[in-house]
Amino acid sequence: MSAVPSSSSSSSLDAISGSGDALIGMAALGKTAASLALVIAIILLCTAVLKRWQTARHQHGAHLKIVGNTAVGNRERIVVVEIEDTWLVVGVSSGRITKLHERPAPTDRPNSPPPEAPSRFSQRLAQALASHRGKQDSPPSTASDSNHTS
């Protein structure tokens, strides 16, 4: 009779050790997932820092100012650039930049405010939805309504 209890206790030990292996496997999987998440977070953080550093560096010592530009084709543009007291008219295409004209910058030009940042898509979408809802809320007037009198 003592053999029966010992075999049942050994089977319960096998069950415990089997679940222990599963727990160890889950712990290793969790550590791997956490490590992967940490590496991705570090990459995203470095990307954000580099973007901020690049824009700050370009704005800090910029002697170059774009006065105006216009598209003349799918990938071609004419750009007026101010460098110190000189305006350059350059043609910009996908493969090269060509100087078209050079002239001194006008001395009596007005100090225009800095150009506004382009509006965010979410703001433009919200404005479009609001104007669309405003149109839907107002009842359409028909010619037959104005002809009927009571």
Residue 91 counted as domain residue: yes
So what's the pLDDT on residue 126?
Answer: 82
State the Cα torsion 6-10-12-14 to the nearest 10°.
180
Domain count, the chain: 2
Residue 2 counted as domain residue: no
3 pLDDT exceeds 60? no
One domain for residues 52 and 67: no
∠ CA 33-34-35, rounded to 5°:
90
Residue 110 counted as domain residue: no
One domain for residues 39 and 53: yes
One domain for residues 48 and 77: no
One domain for residues 96 and 70: yes
Segment 68-87, tens digit of pLDDT: 889 898 889 999 998 888 89
73 is in which domain, residue-wise? 63-104
One domain for residues 56 and 71: no
pTM score, whole prediction: 0.36
Cα 59 from Cα 50, distance rounded (Å): 14
User: Counting beta carbons within 10 angstroms of the beta carbon of residue 77, is it exposed (0 to 12), middle (13 to 18) or buried (19 or more)?
Assistant: middle
One domain for residues 18 and 54: yes
DSSP label of 61: T
Residue 127 counted as domain residue: no
Residue 150 — pLDDT band, cuts 50, 70, 90? very low
